[in-house]
Amino acid sequence: MAETTGTNRPIESYADFWLYYLQEHAKPATRRLHFLGTGLALATLSAAIVSGRAWLGGAALLAGYGPAWVAHFFIEKNRPATFTYPFWSLISDFRMAFTWLTGHLDEELAKAGVHR
């Protein structure tokens, strides 16, 4: 079953998905585990490229998605958007990390109706 917007219609645009994505990451602990996973995935992928060990590519997926899925199942208690929207979800993982690093995540969360 596809995730839906607040109007119970399927998400058809990335702009709608981004707001939904932020709402699904409302708890700070969830976002922290996502940032950890994103960092671990990038480090592991970099190690795979530098070392030429292809198996580290698979490890990068586990390093990235493992902490994120733990956060969804045990902290946020929701279903990861990756299951329905894998491409938009991956883009949004990096977008959320970038907006956090640049100091704009609180603004984006507020647009999505998520308040600290």
pTM for the full predicted model: 0.86
Q: Is residue 20 part of a domain?
A: yes
Count the domains in the chain. 1
Phi and psi (nearest 5°) for 62? -65, -40
Please check whether residue 4 lies inside any domain of the structure.
no
Domain residues for 70? 15-111
Residue range 9-37, pLDDT digits in tens: 789 999 999 999 999 999 999 999 999 99
Q: Which amino acid belongs to residue 61?
A: L
Rounded to a whole number of angstroms, the CA Rg of the chain reads 15
Residue at 9 is within a domain = no
Does residue 8 lie in a domain region? no
Closest by CA to 30, choosing from 96, 113, 110, is 96
User: Is residue 104, in this structure, part of any structural domain at all?
Assistant: yes
d(CA 73, CA 79) in angstroms, rounded, equals 7
How many other CB atoms are there within 10 angstroms of residue 72's CB atom?
21
Q: How many residues are present in the chain? A: 116
